[in-house]
Chains A and B, each alone.
Chain A
Amino acid sequence: MDLVTPELGLVFWTTVSFVILLILLRVFAWKPILGAINERENSIENALLKAEAAKEEMSRLTSENESLLKQARAERDQILAEAKKIKDQIVHDAKEAASKESGRQIELARIEINNQKAIAMADVKNQVASLSLEIAEKILRKQFEDQKKQDELVKELLKDVNLS
């Protein structure tokens, strides 16, 4: 029975000591320790959250960069394509213009040539005429150098007139 009979003295001292221990530990140990652990856990959690956010931000930036790059590339391609189209257009237009111009030039040349040819022909005709006149004059002069021949011609001519 001794074993299960609480001794008053021990009950008293345990109560007093335990309550004092509880108060002392509460003030000097548990409050600061639990506070520090909580604080650290919070700061770790915050750090993790921040890291997560930074990672997200990073990936967001990367994807943004990528999309920007893609967009830029697409724009560049578009610009290139447009430039090519413009170039083709220009070349095409130039060609067309050139061919039109050359056709016109050719036409002009032809007209000019024709004109020149006509002028030349007229000139030639004039020359030929004057030449033939000259030749005829020279021949006539030669023919009519002696009197006899002239008389003969006149006689002949007169003969024609008589007939009429």
Chain B
Amino acid sequence: MERRSILNSKIFKISRIYAFFMLLWAFPALAFCQPKADESKDKPFDPKEAIFEHIGDSHSWPVFGKIKISLPVILYTDKGLDIFMSNNLHEDAVYKGKNYNYILEKNKVKIADDNGKINETKKVWDFSITRNVASMWFAMIILLVVFGSVSRSYKKRAGKAPKGLQSVMEPLIVFVRDDVAIPNIGIKAAKFMPLLLTIFFFILLNNLLGLVPFFPGAYNLTGNIAVTLVLSFIILLVINFSANKYYWKHIFTPEIPLWLYIIMVPVELIGIISKPFALMIRLFANITAGHIIVLSLISLIFIFKTLAVSPASVLFVVFMDCIELLVAFLQAYIFTMLSALFIGMAVQEHH
């Protein structure tokens, strides 16, 4: 009876959401094939390279055209730390560091000898402040400043109606509390509110900044698998460390015939991982796909080498940006909502 009611309510909703996002995924896959197929015969412009340069990470922060902000490169090798600025690092020339000589290959730092020959046997741990790290810090500073000031105005105007920035943020905060946390977690929601709010606003702001086509936006942080990995890993930890005995009982001793344990327990154990894993993939794929579509559409102009394509291209880009704007909010919401749902499933009292 109880199982059926669960099936009817939450999981059914989740499956619908899954289906919806599967649809969203199908989209970019089609669009992505196009520029590849129409790849320019002339060598100079390679859309794949251009797109992946944007999607991926880099050691410097491009501002405008050739102007780039140098960022610290922090490398850990078997001889210790090596720190220098990224303007020293090149693809075609060796930089003599304290411990080794370094060269860039496909945006990755490698150890090389004096002639630029890459030594693959030596391992380099790259802890550089890359463009993504710098952008993330930029977004975090914005978050701290914005919510610091909002918090201050709450103190200043205690008990009064919200004003200015406060009145912009309050509906979002209240939305996360009343429509995301409380329906999914219940009375224990207050404990998880800081995490859910931080995740929501972190993803939302980075999604939105990622859509801004110029400095300091135009990065792909929430579409980076490392970032979504960290976020969903935090959720994984929170779920499993806040879980009560009913959660573990449901996993290890479900009320089913004994012979089904061989199937059910491994499935449930996989479920522990697969829930956050789905969060990771969903956010990563949605944001990356959106960026790829927009860049592919822009690339069309350069592929055909004619301005005639630009109206269509720009029109589609504007259309895609509108969708991306929606997706930015939607993904922040979905990530937070599903996190709340998973946490709620783990902390819910059995009844």
Q: Which residues of A contact B (CB under 8 A)?
A: 2-15, 17-19, 21-22, 24-26, 28-34, 36-37, 39-40, 43
Chain B residue at smallest Cβ distance from A6: B226
Assess the A9–B193 pair: CB atoms within 8 A. no
Residues of B within 8 A of A8 (CB): 125-127
Q: How far is the CB of A45 from chain B (nearest CB, A)?
A: 13
Q: Which of B127, B136, B229, B288 contacts A17 (CB 8 A)?
A: B136
User: Whose C-beta in chain B lies nearest to the C-beta of A40?
Assistant: B159
B96 is an interface residue with CB less than 8 A from chain A: no
A2 to B57, CA, bound (A): 10
Which residues of chain B have C-beta atoms less than 8 A from A18's C-beta? 198, 202, 230-231, 234
Q: With a CB–CB cut-off of 8 A, which chain A residues contact B137?
A: 17
B residues at A contact (CB < 8 Å): 52, 55-57, 74, 106, 125-130, 132-133, 136-137, 140, 143-144, 147-148, 150-151, 154-155, 158-160, 169-170, 173-174, 177, 190, 193-195, 197-198, 202, 224-227, 229-231, 234, 284, 288
Q: Shortest beta-carbon distance, A101 to chain B, in Å?
A: 86
| Residue contact A10 to B224, C-beta cutoff 8 Å | yes
Residue of B nearest to A24 (CB): B144
Residues of B near A21 (CB, < 8 A) are 140, 143-144, 198, 202
Q: Which residues of A sit under 8 angstroms from B55, Cβ to Cβ?
A: 3
Is A17 a contact of B155 with CB atoms below 8 Å?
no
Give the interface centre of B151, B169, B174 by most chain A CB atoms within 10 Å.
B151
Bound-state CA distance A37–B226 (Å) is 35
CB-CB nearest 9 A-B residue pairs: A29-B147, A6-B226, A36-B154, A10-B226, A26-B194, A30-B194, A14-B230, A13-B133, A9-B127
Whether the pair B151, A29 counts as a contact (CB closer than 8 A) is yes
Minimal Cβ-Cβ distance residue in B for A25: B198
Q: Is the CB of A2 within 8 A of B52?
A: yes
Q: In the complex the two chains form, is A3's CB within 8 Å of B288's CB?
A: yes
Please judge, given known A-B contacts A6-B226, A14-B227, A17-B137, whether A30 and B197 are in contact too, CB under 8 Å: yes
Chain B residues, CB < 8 A from A26: 194, 198
Report chain A residues within 8 Å CB of B136.
13-14, 17
A17 contacts B225, C-beta separation under 8 Å: no
Known: A19-B234, A21-B143, A34-B173. 13 other contacts (CB 8 A): A9-B74, A9-B126, A10-B130, A14-B136, A14-B227, A15-B230, A22-B195, A25-B144, A25-B197, A32-B151, A33-B150, A36-B158, A37-B173
Which one of B136, B147, B177, B194 has the highest number of Cβ atoms from chain A below 10 Å of its Cβ? B194
Q: For B148, what are the chain A residues with a Cβ–Cβ distance below 8 Å?
A: 28-29
In the docked arrangement, what's the CA distance between A34 and B126, Å?
39
Do residues B151 and A17 form an inter-chain contact, with CB atoms below 8 A?
no
Q: Is the CB of B193 within 8 A of A34?
A: yes
Chain B residues with CB under 8 A of A9: 74, 125-128, 130, 133
Given the complex, which residues of A lie within 8 Å of B234, measured CB to CB?
Answer: 18-19
Docked CA distance A15–B128 (Å): 14
- Please name the residue on chain A nearest to B133 by beta carbon: A13
List the B side residues contacting A13 at CB < 8 Å. 127, 129, 133, 136
